[in-house]
Amino acid sequence: MTALKLIFTNVIHRPVRAFVGILAISLEVTLILLVIGISNGMIHDNADRQENIGADIIVRPANAPPLFFTTGSTIIPESMGETLRRLESVREVTPILFLAQLRGSWRTVYGIDLPSFEVVAGSLEFLEGRGFSGPQAPEAIIDDLHARSKDLAVGDRFDLKGESFQVVGIYRNGIGGRVYLPIRSLQAITDKAGQASTFLVKLYDSEQIQAAMAQMQGLVPNISIASMREWVSLLRNSTPPAYDTFISGVVGVAISIGSFACFLSMYTTIAERTREIGILKSLGARKGYIVKLVLMEVLVLCLSGLLAGFLLTFLGQQLLQFLFPAQILLIPPVWVLFSVLFVSVSGIIGGLYPALKAAASDPVKALSYE
Each residue's pLDDT tens digit, 190-236: 999 999 999 999 999 988 999 999 999 888 877 889 999 988 888 88
Q: How far apart are CA 173 and CA 228, in angstroms?
A: 19
For 327, which DSSP code? -
Q: How far apart are CA 17 and CA 260, in angstroms?
A: 13
Quick check: 367 pLDDT over 60?
Answer: no
Best mean pLDDT range from 9-18, 99-108, 185-194: 185-194
On whether the CB atoms of residues 231 and 58 are closer than 8 A, the answer is yes
For residues 109-130, give the mean pLDDT. Answer: 93
Q: How far apart are CA 264 and CA 104, in angstroms?
A: 38
On whether the CB atoms of residues 308 and 26 are closer than 8 A, the answer is yes
On whether the CB atoms of residues 43 and 234 are closer than 8 A, the answer is no
On whether the CB atoms of residues 216 and 57 are closer than 8 A, the answer is yes
This prediction has a pTM of 0.76
Quick check: 369 pLDDT over 60?
Answer: no
Q: How far apart are CA 195 and CA 178, in angstroms?
A: 21
> What is the number of other CB atoms lying within 10 angstroms of the CB of residue 153?
12
Quick check: 103 pLDDT over 90?
Answer: no
On whether the CB atoms of residues 369 and 274 are closer than 8 A, the answer is yes
Of 248, 257, 334, give the one whose Cα is nearest residue 302. Answer: 257
For residues 335-342, give the mean pLDDT. Answer: 89
C-alpha pair distances (Å), 146 with each of 141, 177, 313, 322: 10, 10, 24, 12
pLDDT band of residue 94 (cuts 50, 70, 90) is very high
Q: How far apart are CA 34 and CA 325, in angstroms?
A: 15
On whether the CB atoms of residues 110 and 216 are closer than 8 A, the answer is no
pLDDT value, residue 360: 65
pLDDT band of residue 6 (cuts 50, 70, 90) is low
Q: How far apart are CA 181 and CA 131, in angstroms?
A: 10
Q: How far apart are CA 16 and CA 79, in angstroms?
A: 70
Average pLDDT value for the chain: 83
Quick check: 50 pLDDT over 70?
Answer: yes
Quick check: 61 pLDDT over 90?
Answer: no
